[in-house]
Amino acid sequence: MTATEAIAAFKNRTLSPVELLKAIIARCEQLQPKVNALTYTYFDRALEQAKAAEAQYTRRGGEPRPLEGVTVAIKDFHPVKDEISTYGSKIYRDYRPDHTAPTVQRLLDAGAIMHCRTTTPEFAHTGVTASPLWGITRNPWNLEHTPGGSSSGSGAAVAARMCHAAIGSQTGGSTIRPASYCGIVGMKPSFGRISRYGMLPLAPSLDHVGIFARSATDAAAMLEAMAGEDPRDPASRVVVAGDYIHAAAAPERPPRIALMPKAFDDCATEETRSAVARAVARLADAGARIESVEEPASLDYVTANILLQLCAEAAEVHRERFAQKKDQYGPKIREFVERGLDTPAWEYIRALEMQRRFRRETDRVLARFDVILTPATPAPAPAGIESTGDPSFNLPWSLSGHPVVSLPCALAPSGLPVSIQLTGAAFEEGRLLSIARWCEEIFKFDALPPAAPL
């Protein structure tokens, strides 16, 4: 069941939250040795929460909260008070924070059950899948292929049905890429839509909270629980959150969709191009108005720009800790920090101006279209479990801060999922989710990962 379906079954009393949680726990115990998506589990406490949720659904006059009884996995990058929060690093192997990130607290307040934490590479660095603490996370579609990263465990856990939904983060492509590789729905809201307070930053001008789900409606429910202003996060915007659950219905008219084939399709593999072209044709047949457009001129500079910002800001975040504990950093994150320490201020300032320019140019495209549609990744999940794959198709929208939803649309000949990503106007997540739901109904993707059979 999706989260939405489970809630409906709870309300109809055809399913108990306790029964469902017990099945999910059994599944976690069955698949964790193969997939290795989890760090810590809280099954006993979760069962108590499920009993309380069941009472809310069965008590006369009870008022279940929006996510009452739904299981949500938390990336080990979002701190939870008094629970070990490692950020994937040996440095934090015994760290117990004195606060809970608002991302987590808002989900708990909405009735979600946190039954597990999920793996992440060291400090959410996307260069390698393996965590020095937890080892390698594997893709449920093929255990010899990467699940993507850095939200490796969140993507794999949702795909393997070890939870209903999960949260992660995205600085470059750490939500949309693993969601695509794992054949599930991924969402990166607008920059500033969800508070990042309490998270250890990677690059503050790029960091987003990410959502993993199995439907656009589930992603909407997750966003509705977490969205909102937080003065403790300097990037948080004073923008009223919407009724995303209600918005995740078919739009009143077929959407206007912009394609950027030169920048994206031409850089994708043949199996990805073919699958996305078939998906686009189905959307056109259903009435979508689709047009190819020139990509923003500044798109050519995105990869170099985001790498420079990431290194410079990671150096600032880690500067004092790195000076004291350099030998405890892995080689990839160490390389990033050292590169950032050598970055001249003028280069960083120029990168920020390029970021603003690219955001403005993207806004101009989205003033004429509802969404920009591109492949979510250049190729399906690559073989080999050392790398998290190519984030190049995700970097532009992390840099610009526009909201993105990825949807699986087909299986490649290799049997691995292929996804599209839809980019919408800033802080228009309701419209974006509505369009995502419309596309989802057309694709009707319902394949299951063979390495995690039900």
Q: Which amino acid is at 140?
A: P
183 dihedral zone (left: phi>0; alpha: psi -120 to 50; beta): left
Written as six digits, the tokens of 246 are 């209600």
Angle (nearest 5°) at CA 23 between 21 and 28: 90
Which residues belong to the active site? 75, 150, 174
Residue the block writes with tokens 């999940």: 381
Annotated domain spans of the chain: 3-297+357-443
**pTM of this prediction?**
0.97
How many other CB atoms are found less than 10 A from the CB of residue 431?
A: 17
Cβ burial, residue 304 (10 Å; 0-12/13-18/19+): exposed
411/371 Cα distance (integer angstroms): 23
- pLDDT tens, residue by residue, 206-263: 999 999 999 999 999 999 999 999 999 999 998 888 899 999 987 778 999 999 999 9
Q: Residue 266: how many CB atoms within 10 A of its CB?
A: 9
Mean pLDDT by 10 residues, the chain (454 residues): 96 96 97 96 98 92 90 96 94 95 97 97 78 89 95 97 98 97 98 95 96 97 96 92 88 92 94 98 98 96 95 96 93 92 97 97 98 98 88 98 98 97 97 96 95 78
* Residues 454, 449: Cα–Cα separation, whole Å: 9
Q: Which CATH architecture has domain 3-297+357-443?
A: Alpha-Beta Complex (3.90)
Question: Comparing C-alpha atoms, which of 435, 451, 407 is closest to residue 180?
Answer: 407
Distance CA 104, CA 112 (A): 9
Beta strands in 275-429 (DSSP E): 289-292, 371-375, 404-411, 417-424
Q: Is 287 left (phi over 0), alpha (psi -120 to 50) or beta?
A: left
**DSSP character at residue 209:** E
In which element (H, E) is residue 434 found?
Answer: helix 429-443
Closest among 367, 374, 376, 356 to 425, alpha carbons compared: 367
pLDDT of residue 132: 82
Residue 129's pLDDT is 65
Looking at residue 61, its pLDDT comes to 66
Per-residue model confidence (pLDDT) at position 127? 64
User: What's the distance, CA 302 to chain centroid?
Assistant: 20
